[in-house]
Structure 1
Amino acid sequence: MKRFIPFVLSLLFLATSALCGCGEVEEMEIEYAEGTLNFDYSELSGTEVKVYNWGNYISDGADGTIDVNEEFEKLTGIKVIYDNYDSNESLYAKLASGGADYDVVIPSDYMIGRLISEGYLEEINFSNIPNYEFIDQAYKNTQYDPENRYSVPYNVGKVGIIYNTYMVEGTPTSWSLMWDENYKGKILNFNNSRDAFAIAQFYNGIDINTTDKAELDKAFDSLVEQKQILQSYVMDEVFNKMESGEAAIAPYYAGDFFTMYGNNEDLAFYYPEEGTNVFIDAACVLKGAKNKKAAELYINFLMDPAIAQANAEYIYYASPNTEVIKNEDYLAFLEELHPDAYDILYGDVDNPKDDSFIDLPAETKSYMTEKWTQLGATSTEESGNDIVYGICIVLLALIMFWFAFSTVRKKTRERMYD
């Protein structure tokens, strides 16, 4: 879910700080809630907790912000091992392959439902998460976890459309913008099946949790039609493409719009009138976690109002924490972030057509995956074909020259794999 910050910029910031003699950052004093302080952490000091989260989805100390993982380590003595994924599907693939050795994961609602049903999650001992009291009741007893046994809400949001006001005419209100041929080659879509299908389903007035193959086929046909004018399917790449003006239209998560807007004020955002996906990302403990109590204490730390506010200000997503939402400093932060930030994140005007994903039956998921794979192989007329073909010819010539040259010289090259 969500935002991409180039690693090079981080290195540049560190190098600049060192050269300027400003590498030392004044230590922050954090006022923790009693539910954070009333633990004896000594029994777990020296152990580690392994966390698997969305990329750039936690305050990391950049630009003077709180480094959440570092502060947790200072308070508890528990070392945080932290890795990232870029979609719910990639998270699931890693879990299903047996390659995930983590204690804490933070998936989205429908994926949590799937992980529960397939036995991937531990029941949480909420005596280790007293800060759960700060979570708004609206985000408890959800469809995916009706008895609040497996998850603790971390952030919430909705999907909308980001568009460049200089490249798009008028004030759009509909998903139909994603199919507007006037913007051929300037439109992006999600590079994951569930989000991409949902857009086509909303566009066609179809339930996003349908199991009807005929309805899925109708959504698929719309995606095939759309692909003819699409620039590309993206996830984190959306930031560079929208900020630079390489693309004009993209569906994405509301919180990430503010990141892009901060780098390009020509961008605007709206929720389509046909309805959109409302989601909750929540912290969970994986089945067989090697340090379950540390995992629960880490989740409790994330729910501390000071930490929840730091994360909300860093990632720009709506917080389910009641103390954050009424904090005056946070409200002032939102006003400075964007004139409509509060309304976009917390506005009380609900569209009855909005909906949330649920975990679909295995047969439906399999069919959707099949159609998504088929979509990837569908012949399309890409925008700017003449330019693309020209580039391909040049590249092919260069490759053939390199191959001939390297063969004559009989040079060997070491090949590295991720």
Structure 2
Amino acid sequence: MRRLYSFVTGVIAIVAILALAMFFMEKQTSSQSDTKSLVIYNWGDYIAPELLTKFEKQTGIDIQYETFDSNEAMYTKVEQGGTRYDIAVPSDYMIDKMIQDNLLVKLNKSKITGLNHIGSEFMNKSFDPGNTYSIPYFWGTVGIVYNDKMIDSPPQHWSDLWRQEYRDNIMLVDGAREVMGLGLNSLGYSLNSKDMSQLNQASDKLSHLTPNVKAIVGDEMKGYLIHGDAAIGVTFSGEAREMLDANPHLHYVLPSEGSNLWFDNLVIPKTVKNKEGAYAFINFMLEPENAAQNAEYIGYTTPNVEAKARLPESITADKAFYPSDDLIAKLEVYNNLGQKWLGTYNDLYLQFKMYRH
């Protein structure tokens, strides 16, 4: 009986040792796999594919590229924590929210090379003071696209959008901050106003814009304006760049009274498994040669000064996309308004959309 007990005990011990050995082997294999791969979570078609291949060849790290179509969708996936992401590319206000919710890794600046290539005017913004958590990737503005074949007098200012001659000919990007923003800007108010009187004035003024609004749309605006389905669109500069490249009769205007200055930045989410690979990728994208190639492919504006110098003059000379320092000073980054005020903006915007119908 004792021999049987000893035998059973021995078998259990051997099974336990084997299970423990397999656990550590799997953990080591998983760890090695983590360091040989990098999961990037980015907007769709927001990096030159050749750069991903180049990074893989240089580092031996395999890239897994996943995409999202809104900051909110990206936030939800990272916040849930069940999926690994080593690099993400959120926008300014969402970076602020992710910092507050402890979803980002504080950057170790000693591991980052090439930060000096970024223009000082694009650093230390309100959503990430000191760039403690994020590195500028692309920036841009919200402005007006128009078709010179479809209108006689092109719009130059936000207030021009109310002209009767534009009746049923304007498309607006579907965004509360953008639409409320053009209303606020047209009155000389801040895009981040928390003054209810100002917000109500903007809302009232927007209600008088509805006869001119043909549609409120998303990405499909590009196709509509390229094919002449509307004469005017209010949209992001990067989207506008694609439209202008496809139709020579389209032009982009950045109103001189001011607009939104937006940023998409590289961050390391809390879900990271390959920190060294993440830093390698950030450094790779900070290299002027790579940043210039990326900017030329995407069409968005690079914050990398040396990269800008490498771009064709036909691109950088366009003041609508590379505005003067004086105009940049009039642009505003969207602040994280907090749940109460964001709800107010959303409610007023929904009211505007319903009023159209």
Short-chain TM bin: 0.7 to 0.9
Q: Scaled by the length of structure 1, what TM-score is found?
A: 0.71
Separation (CA, whole Å) in 2 of partners of 1:271 and 1:79 = 40
Shift of 1:353: 3.6
- Give the aligned partner of residue 37 of structure 1: none
Separation (CA, whole Å) in 2 of partners of 1:229 and 1:343 = 24
* Counterpart selection for 1:154 from 126, 134, 137: 137
- Give the aligned partner of residue 289 of structure 1: 272
Q: Does structure 1 retain, via aligned residues, the 8 Å contact 2:302–2:308?
A: yes
* Counterpart selection for 1:57 from 46, 50, 65: 46
Q: Which has the larger radius of gyration?
A: 2
- Give the aligned partner of residue 72 of structure 1: 55
Consecutive unaligned residues in structure 1, runs of 5 or more: 1-42, 61-66, 382-418
Q: Does structure 1 retain, via aligned residues, the 8 Å contact 2:145–2:251?
A: yes
Separation (CA, whole Å) in 1 of partners of 2:175 and 2:79 = 17
Task: Tell me which amino acid in the other structure corresponds to 1:54.
Answer: W
CA deviations over 1:340-387 (Å, ceiling 9, x no partner): 5266315344265422211112211122233334444x1435xxxxxx
Shift of 1:95: 4.2
How big is the alpha-carbon RMSD for the aligned residues of Structure 1 and Structure 2? 2.5
- Give the aligned partner of residue 36 of structure 2: 47
Taking structure 1 as reference, are residues 374 and 289 closer, same or farther at Cα in structure 2, changes over 3 Å only? farther
Separation (CA, whole Å) in 2 of partners of 1:206 and 1:342 = 24
Matched, 1:380 2:345: no
Q: Does structure 2 retain, via aligned residues, the 8 Å contact 1:45–1:77?
A: no
Task: Tell me which amino acid in the other structure corresponds to 1:267.
Answer: L
Q: Does structure 2 retain, via aligned residues, the 8 Å contact 1:49–1:295?
A: yes
Shift of 1:96: 5.0
Name the stretch that deviates more: 114-123 or 248-257.
Answer: 248-257
Q: Does structure 2 retain, via aligned residues, the 8 Å contact 1:44–1:78?
A: no
- Give the aligned partner of residue 345 of structure 1: 322
Separation (CA, whole Å) in 2 of partners of 1:94 and 1:372 = 26
Taking structure 1 as reference, are residues 343 and 234 closer, same or farther at Cα in structure 2, changes over 3 Å only? closer
- Give the aligned partner of residue 357 of structure 1: 334
Percent identity between the aligned chains?
A: 32
Shift of 1:75: 1.4
Task: Give the paired residue count.
Answer: 327
Separation (CA, whole Å) in 1 of partners of 2:103 and 2:352 = 30
Taking structure 1 as reference, are residues 174 and 93 closer, same or farther at Cα in structure 2, changes over 3 Å only? farther
* Counterpart selection for 1:217 from 196, 200, 204: 200
Q: Does structure 1 retain, via aligned residues, the 8 Å contact 2:172–2:215?
A: yes
Separation (CA, whole Å) in 2 of partners of 1:348 and 1:261 = 23
Q: Scaled by the length of structure 2, what TM-score is found?
A: 0.83
Separation (CA, whole Å) in 2 of partners of 1:343 and 1:209 = 23
Q: How does 1:10-409 map to 2 (within 5 A)?
A: 47-60=36-49, 67-95=50-78, 101-327=84-310, 330=311, 333-335=312-314, 337=315, 340-341=317-318, 344-350=321-327, 353-376=330-353, 378-381=354-357
Shift of 1:204: 2.1
Q: Does structure 2 retain, via aligned residues, the 8 Å contact 1:168–1:248?
A: yes
Separation (CA, whole Å) in 2 of partners of 1:343 and 1:195 = 18
Shift of 1:86: 3.2
Taking structure 1 as reference, are residues 213 and 81 closer, same or farther at Cα in structure 2, changes over 3 Å only? farther
